[in-house]
DNA sequence: TTAGGGTTAG
């Protein structure tokens, strides 16, 4: 005798397979259930939309939405939140806004979750003002921001350089009693403040974290340790690592990678290798970032063949080399003076389909100059469609070193006219150089754009 | 749906 499957039981089975990323099995459960006379409902379809958006892509989520409409089941706010989340996860920010507006035309009222994703989306698009407007529209929508809303606002403000806004929103929400900070909030604030250079404020927040009865976690420690290394307080960074270790927070590759990379940057390679050895002895597996640091260490030592072997090993371990791996290796080739090989590698990287190889190109331009091939560097520089402050600073700086001040000033003027800046010191060197060659009118042009 | 580690200029 064949029993009819209840909708609730079917949905539990579908959700379990979706969680395990076994989407085909989830679909086959639905087919079997239909054969037995049980039809999927809005919960079944929402589970599928969410899984396809999360594990496959947004288009697959859309296909489920269409199937849902064909089955005459109306999508609800949860359906759209899954699609919004899928668009956000795959960095399709404009699509996210489109979907949000589509909710309106479908007569679906967005909830706090929908607004949170929309806020995140505007921050990622570099539009903090818009994000802030949405945040302030909550009241008129009869919605109350939740802790994720606040955390997203703080983090977004920091990421877009609105440090003051982040801190004042934090203080005002505390004063008004509309928000109680969580450990996550404190970590967002400490990270943002450290990165903005607001060290005193960061210390104060760390103090408040402890006074609120929270204990710093692995993320708090890694954030502070990273900041110490960045601000050249090396010993203090090591002390943070030790404290972290004593409190049992060095259980993953994050802490070891941070410390090892800091040693490598200081040229203390033996200690950097020792940290990785310690990590392996603890039974912690290296992830791609750890391997990338190791590739960099071999490159710093000039062991380019060893680095190349490691690239193959990474793939053998089932990991996929990323932009960082390839850029680090490319930089190693340049550092070892293997320019032709590096130029071939750069072409190879172009075929890998990364979003941008800007860092790799910057690296190539700088290293070519350093090995005395500034004309080759200039050719690459002129071919580059996207350039940033680093590209210009590197080119101008190296041309000045070769006393090619007129060429340097042309590059600098192009940079300033595009609204980008190079270090003030570099600009001064150009002006001084032009004066030394008697090129006073060219020097005036640069000085005019100085301010 | 929100936080931490890796590459390039000075």
Separation of alpha carbons A162 and A319, rounded Å: 36
A223 touches strand B (CB under 7 A): yes
Which nucleotide lies at the shortest CA–C1' distance from A369? B9
Q: What is the pLDDT of residue A2?
A: 52
**A1-110 matches A126-215 in fold:** yes
Q: Residue A340: CB partners within 8 Å, gap ≥ 6?
A: none
A393 touches strand B (CB under 7 A): yes
Which positions of chain B lie under 7 Å from any protein Cβ? 1-10
**Lookup result for tokens 């990338």:** A292
Structural domain A1-110, CATH architecture: Alpha Horseshoe (1.25)
Q: Which CATH superfamily is domain A126-215 in?
A: Tetratricopeptide repeat domain (1.25.40.10)
Which nucleotide lies at the shortest CA–C1' distance from A391? B9
A323 touches strand B (CB under 7 A): yes
Q: What is the pLDDT of residue A75?
A: 94
Q: Which residue is closest to B3 in terms of CA–C1' distance?
A: A188
Separation of alpha carbons A306 and A336, rounded Å: 13
Write down which residues 264-303 in A have CB closer than 7 A to strand B. Answer: 265, 287-290, 292-293, 296
pLDDT tens digits for chain A (451 residues)? 456 678 888 889 988 988 888 898 988 988 888 988 889 999 999 999 999 998 888 899 999 999 999 999 999 999 999 999 999 988 888 899 999 999 999 999 999 999 999 999 999 999 999 999 999 999 898 999 999 999 999 999 999 999 999 999 999 999 988 899 999 999 999 999 999 888 889 989 999 999 999 999 999 999 999 999 998 888 989 999 999 999 889 988 999 999 999 999 999 999 999 999 999 999 999 999 999 999 999 999 999 999 999 999 998 888 999 999 999 999 999 888 888 899 899 989 988 877 778 999 999 999 889 888 888 899 999 999 889 989 999 999 999 999 999 999 999 999 988 888 888 888 889 999 999 999 999 998 888 876 6
A335 touches strand B (CB under 7 A): no
Amino acid A365 CA to nucleotide B8 C1' distance, rounded Å:
9
Separation of alpha carbons A65 and A251, rounded Å: 41
Task: Report whether A244 contacts A255 (CB < 8 A).
Answer: yes
A423 touches strand B (CB under 7 A): yes
Q: What is the pLDDT of residue A357?
A: 86
Tell me the domain boundaries of chain A.
1-110, 126-215, 387-451
Q: What is the pLDDT of residue A1?
A: 47
Q: What is the pLDDT of residue A416?
A: 87
Q: What is the DSSP string of A318-333?
A: T----HHHHHHHHHHH
């Amino acid at each position: 005798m064949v029993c009819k499957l209840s909708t609730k039981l079917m949905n539990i089975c579908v959700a379990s397979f979706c969680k395990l990323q076994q989407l085909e099995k989830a679909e086959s459960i639905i087919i079997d259930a239909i054969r037995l006379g049980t039809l999927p409902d809005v919960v079944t379809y929402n589970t599928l939309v969410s899984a396809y958006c999360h594990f496959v892509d947004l288009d697959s989520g859309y296909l489920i939405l269409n199937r849902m409409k064909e089955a005459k089941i109306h999508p609800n706010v949860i359906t759209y939140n899954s699609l919004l989340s899928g668009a956000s996860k795959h960095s399709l920010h404009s699509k996210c806004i489109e979907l949000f507006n589509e909710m309106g035309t479908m007569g679906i009222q967005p909830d706090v979750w929908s607004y949170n994703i929309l806020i995140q989306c505007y921050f990622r698009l570099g539009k903090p003002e818009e994000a802030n407007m949405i945040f302030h529209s909550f009241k008129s929508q009869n919605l109350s921001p939740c802790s994720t809303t606040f955390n997203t606002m703080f983090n977004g403000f920091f990421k877009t350089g609105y440090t003051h806004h982040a801190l004042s929103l934090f203080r005002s929400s505390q004063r008004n009693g509309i928000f109680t900070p969580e450990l996550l909030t404190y970590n967002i604030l400490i990270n943002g403040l450290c990165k903005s250079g607001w060290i005193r404020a960061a210390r104060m927040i760390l103090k408040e974290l402890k006074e609120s009865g929270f204990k710093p976690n692995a993320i708090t420690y890694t954030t502070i340790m990273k900041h110490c290394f960045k601000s050249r307080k090396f010993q203090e960074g090591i002390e943070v690592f030790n404290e972290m270790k004593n409190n049992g927070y060095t259980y993953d590759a994050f802490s070891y990678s941070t410390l090892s990379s800091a040693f490598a940057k200081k040229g203390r390679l033996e200690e950097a290798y020792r940290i990785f050895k310690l990590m392996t002895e603890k039974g912690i597996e290296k992830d791609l970032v750890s391997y990338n640091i190791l590739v960099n260490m071999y490159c710093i030592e000039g062991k380019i063949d060893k680095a190349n072997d490691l690239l193959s090993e990474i793939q053998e371990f089932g990991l996929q080399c990323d932009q960082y791996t390839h850029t680090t290796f490319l930089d190693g080739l340049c550092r070892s003076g293997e320019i032709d090989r590096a130029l071939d590698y750069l072409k190879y990287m172009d075929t890998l389909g990364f979003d941008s190889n800007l860092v790799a190109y910057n690296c190539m331009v700088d290293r070519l100059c350093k090995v005395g091939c500034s004309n080759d560097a200039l050719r690459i520089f002129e071919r580059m469609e996207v350039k940033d402050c680093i590209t210009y600073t590197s080119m101008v700086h190296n041309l000045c070193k070769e006393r090619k001040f007129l060429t340097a000033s042309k590059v600098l003027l192009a940079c300033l006219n595009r609204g980008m800046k190079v270090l003030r010191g570099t600009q001064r060197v150009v002006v001084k150089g032009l004066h030394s060659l008697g090129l006073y009118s060219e020097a005036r042009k640069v000085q005019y754009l100085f301010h």
